[in-house]
Structure 1
Amino acid sequence: MADHSAIEWTDATWNPITGCSIVSPGCVHCYAMKLAGTRLKHIESRKGLTRETAIGPVWTGEVRLNEKWLDQPLRWKQPRRIFVCAHGDLFAENVPDDWIDRVFAIMALAPQHTFQVLTKRAKRMREYLTQRDAGQRLRADAVEVAGWNMVMQGQIGHAKPTIWPLPNVWLGVSAERQKEADDRVPELLATPAAIRFISAEPLLGRIDFGKIIRAATFAGTTYPDGKTHPIGWMIVGGESGPGARPMHPNWVRQIRDDFTAAGVPFFFKQWGAWWPQECNPLPQQRFAERLRTARITPSIEKPLRGCWGVDDKWDPGKIAGALPAYTSWKIGKKAAGRLLDGVEHSEFPKVAA
């Protein structure tokens, strides 16, 4: 948990619940899973949450409620965006509803903050948010968690169970390929939320989000907030770290173009480990400097480069002859940067003050 975060689209992380399990290909190189099984494996909040395998630490499915961190946002007075359960999933299979109630109670008691909840368990999130008594449980848990004296003395605000969904909570789903988008986005569209968002990170394949949203609209899905577009924010990013898989520039462009045309804020988080040379061309001297910075010798380290063919097929070790093929170099997240066609996209939803 950190009051400041290096994640580009948030200000702080809050981990009242840690632990998770692998549910789809986007989980394979999870940074939180690796940390829980290496540098943090002896810390109480992570101990026993992973097991050693031939490919490194893997989640066991065990989850943990970290009581000492539960009320942390109440002590942060300066408003900030807070990524909830960055080292787990609030709606993971083994997380009891009671724990989720307590997390939502804290979020209700801290209206100065914006909480960003991101899950791969979209169905469970939708089921939880549409329970009839969720707001009433929130009120009861707010009093229990914070203490009635703190509420009465004005040290924290009153939870208002009639305001549901909570206006300071953004709900999102991760979708790395078309399959995950097809499964999760319709559930998100049926979930009441102040802001709904999608994170396509790591983006591992071409996704047509417009098709999913059009199908849901045609089927008569209603959106409680009355917005003209059901998604309030779109995040895209490539994979970083050891074993990172490359991302085709055109996958990103399609999502950017579709959502910006619809007036939806678009946030491009990173290329990740792989940098597409043609997408962000550099003068020869700067290109050579970038490769040297990443300690790459192009002539001998073929595994650290590859190209995309016209059929989106990744061909490792090769260099593209001409567009529409693209050459990508594995130079690391920092060197690859965040520019998409020379532009940094860092848009956030606009919310009423």
Structure 2
Amino acid sequence: MADKSLIEWTDATWNPITGCTLVDDGCRHCYAAHLITSWPAIGNHPSREGLARKNAAGESKFTGEVRFNEQWLDQPLRWKKPRRIFVCAHGDLFHPEVPDEWIDKVFAVMALAPQHTFQVLTKRPERAREYLMGLTCDGARRLNVARMAGHLFGDEADAKASNRHWPMSNVWMLTSVSDQASANERIPQLLACPAAVRGISAEPLLGPVDLTLDGLVCLPCPASLDGLRMDTDTGAYECCSRCDYTGVGSEWGIDWVICGGESGPHARPMHPDWARSLRDQCVAAGVPFLFKQWGEWAADQIGPEDARSTRYPPGHVEFLKIGKKRAGRKLDGVEWSQFPEVAE
């Protein structure tokens, strides 16, 4: 947990749940697993001890165990000054081993802290979609969360949570992508999540990503066709009026894009053209763009003489390993730090 965070797109981190499992190549050098195995003050804490180990190649990997840290559950309720809060920075709220009851508790706290903006980043948006929709697309999940708030904090908390609009305006849903394959798989699931803001974290960016996703179709309601309405002219089913999937406005349904290269001892370089493409797509669509970092590697014109170099792709661009701080976070000389705005 941290009341103040150095992560460029948030103000604080909140870790009621810790632990995770590798999902794809973007997880190979997970920063959170690296922190647990490399920093005794973090890795020896009861909330994280034993959750990650180094393999024979020196890479830090989560074990798959997840842990509920109830002692930190009410932390945002004690922070009075509004903050952007990264939820489960050292885990995934929607990991398959996390029971719905734990998620209900996290959402209950978020419902009771409307002064904060909660940034929920997951690599499992399909689970997020199923959870947020509940069983019937009729607000059942909202009522479960309100009941949990009452169970944890009393009847007044139940009433306060019950009065929150669903989806809650202070809860942003984001998913991680690292290349086109992960974007194609996760973005449709994200778009089917009821959320005030839907965002993409393209970090570590390991390949080019086209966010228009040509041929994308809306996913059906998980309840059944009873939760959809039919267009009488085309016969196609659309989302029912009880669900608000409009976000805060982009033709993609994506409201924010974060882009960044990989950091850490095993970091892979990010081609500048991949980052430029995401920036240009966002500018054209009017979507806020935040360039988080180059990571360990930077383009050749920035590096010192003693930096280690590599070519990626071969013969195209030379990269110099100069470290995250020296590489910085300017893209073509500009620092991009845009955020979405949400009307209450």
Smaller-chain TM-score bracket: 0.7 to 0.9
Conservation of the 8 A alpha-carbon contact between 1:84 and 1:115: yes
Q: Once the 2 structures are TM-superposed, how far is the Cα of residue 148 of structure 1 from its aligned partner?
A: 3.5
Unaligned 5+ segments in structure 1 are 282-286, 299-303
CA distance in 1, matches of 2:174, 2:15: 17
Q: Once the 2 structures are TM-superposed, how far is the Cα of residue 186 of structure 1 from its aligned partner?
A: 0.6
CA distance in 2, matches of 1:95, 1:270: 30
Q: Once the 2 structures are TM-superposed, how far is the Cα of residue 47 of structure 1 from its aligned partner?
A: 1.7
Instruction: Give the aligned partner of residue 162 of structure 2.
Output: 160
Residue-pair matches, total? 315
Q: 1:52 to 1:335 in 2, by over 3 A?
A: closer
Instruction: Give the aligned partner of residue 327 of structure 1.
Output: 318
Aligned-partner SS, 1:127:
helix
Q: Once the 2 structures are TM-superposed, how far is the Cα of residue 109 of structure 1 from its aligned partner?
A: 0.2
Instruction: Give the aligned partner of residue 328 of structure 2.
Output: 337
Letter in 1 for 2:150: V
Conservation of the 8 A alpha-carbon contact between 1:135 and 1:161: no
Aligned-partner SS, 1:54:
coil
Letter in 2 for 1:126: R
CA distance in 2, matches of 1:342, 1:217: 38
Unaligned 5+ segments in structure 2 are 220-235
Q: Once the 2 structures are TM-superposed, how far is the Cα of residue 35 of structure 1 from its aligned partner?
A: 1.9
**Residue 246 of structure 1 pairs with residue 246 of structure 2:** no
> Identity across aligned pairs (percent)?
54
Instruction: Give the aligned partner of residue 64 of structure 2.
Output: 61
Instruction: Give the aligned partner of residue 211 of structure 1.
Output: 213
Conservation of the 8 A alpha-carbon contact between 2:17 and 2:66: yes
TM-score, normalised to structure 1, is 0.84
Conservation of the 8 A alpha-carbon contact between 2:120 and 2:174: yes
Conservation of the 8 A alpha-carbon contact between 1:237 and 1:270: yes
Superposition CA RMSD, Å: 2.1
CA distance in 1, matches of 2:321, 2:208: 20
Q: Once the 2 structures are TM-superposed, how far is the Cα of residue 162 of structure 1 from its aligned partner?
A: 5.6
Instruction: Give the aligned partner of residue 139 of structure 1.
Output: 146
Instruction: Give the aligned partner of residue 176 of structure 1.
Output: 178
Which residue among 294, 297, 314 is the counterpart of 2:306? Answer: 297
Which residue among 208, 220, 232 is the counterpart of 2:255? Answer: 232
CA distance in 1, matches of 2:181, 2:26: 12
Instruction: Give the aligned partner of residue 128 of structure 1.
Output: 131
Q: Once the 2 structures are TM-superposed, how far is the Cα of residue 146 of structure 1 from its aligned partner?
A: 2.2
Conservation of the 8 A alpha-carbon contact between 1:106 and 1:145: no
Q: Once the 2 structures are TM-superposed, how far is the Cα of residue 165 of structure 1 from its aligned partner?
A: 1.1
Instruction: Give the aligned partner of residue 349 of structure 1.
Output: 340
CA distance in 2, matches of 1:193, 1:22: 25
Letter in 2 for 1:276: A
Q: Once the 2 structures are TM-superposed, how far is the Cα of residue 253 of structure 1 from its aligned partner?
A: 0.8
Letter in 2 for 1:245: R
Conservation of the 8 A alpha-carbon contact between 2:250 and 2:287: no
CA distance in 1, matches of 2:149, 2:112: 7
Instruction: Give the aligned partner of residue 231 of structure 2.
Output: none
Task: Give CA deviations for 1:263-292 in whole Å, capped at 9, x if unaligned.
Answer: 000000001111113xxx5xxxxx5xx51x
CA distance in 2, matches of 1:259, 1:265: 7
TM-score, normalised to structure 2, is 0.86
Aligned-partner SS, 1:210:
coil
CA distance in 2, matches of 1:220, 1:191: 17
Q: Which has the higher mean CA deviation after the structures are superposed, 45-54 or 245-254?
A: 45-54
Task: Give CA deviations for 1:93-115 in whole Å, capped at 9, x if unaligned.
Answer: 10000000000000000000000
